[in-house]
């Protein structure tokens, strides 16, 4: 059941509003954070080319919202310890898949 709920949430959010990303203008290169777009939580990272990248902040394990870890430059899940690199790639389980990338429109 929980997995279904996660999948439904992930399907609902499939893009991020560029105007919502204006709130992230203060993000320096190499910094990330969690923001809200379309009433959903979004993990945002500004890479060293100054490009903003956006991912669903919903942990693919059981659906908690990940947090930005500025010391490690990773998105960490507070529920069961999964960790994701700044590009969304899973680096520690129990999650077995990456944060879902979201196009910015
Ligand atoms: Fe994120 Fe379990 S919900 S590690």
Across 23-42, average pLDDT: 85
Atom of ligand 1 nearest to the CA of 66: 1
**Which sequence spans correspond to the domains of the chain?**
2-92
Per residue in 59-94, pLDDT tens? 999 999 999 999 999 999 999 999 999 999 999 999
**5: pLDDT strictly greater than 70:** no
pLDDT of 94 = 97
Give Cα 25 distance to the centre of its chain. Answer: 17
Pocket lining: 58 vs ligand 1, CB cutoff 6 Å: no
Q: How far apart are CA 25 and CA 67, in angstroms?
A: 19
Pocket lining: 92 vs ligand 1, CB cutoff 6 Å: no
Q: How far is the CA of 56 from the centre of ligand 1 (A)?
A: 14
Q: Which is higher by pLDDT, 89 or 3?
A: 89
Q: How far is the CA of 66 from the centre of ligand 1 (A)?
A: 8
- Nearest of 16, 37, 20, 33 to residue 102 by alpha carbon: 16
Atom of ligand 1 nearest to the CA of 94: 4
CATH of 2-92, one of 3.40.50.300, 3.40.47.10, 3.40.50.2000, 2.102.10.10: 2.102.10.10
Q: How far is the CA of 77 from the centre of ligand 1 (A)?
A: 6
pLDDT of 98 = 97
């Amino acid at each position: 059941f929980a997995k279904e709920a996660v999948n439904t949430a992930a399907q609902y959010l499939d893009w991020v509003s560029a105007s919502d990303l204006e709130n992230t203008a203060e993000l320096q290169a190499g910094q990330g954070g969690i923001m809200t777009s379309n009433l959903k939580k979004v993990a945002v990272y500004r890479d060293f080319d100054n490009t903003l990248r956006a991912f669903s902040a919903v942990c693919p394990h059981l659906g908690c919202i990940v947090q930005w870890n500025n010391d490690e430059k990773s998105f960490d899940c507070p529920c069961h310890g999964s960790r994701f690199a700044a590009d969304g790639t899973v680096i520690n389980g129990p999650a077995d898949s990456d944060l879902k990338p979201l196009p910015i429109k």
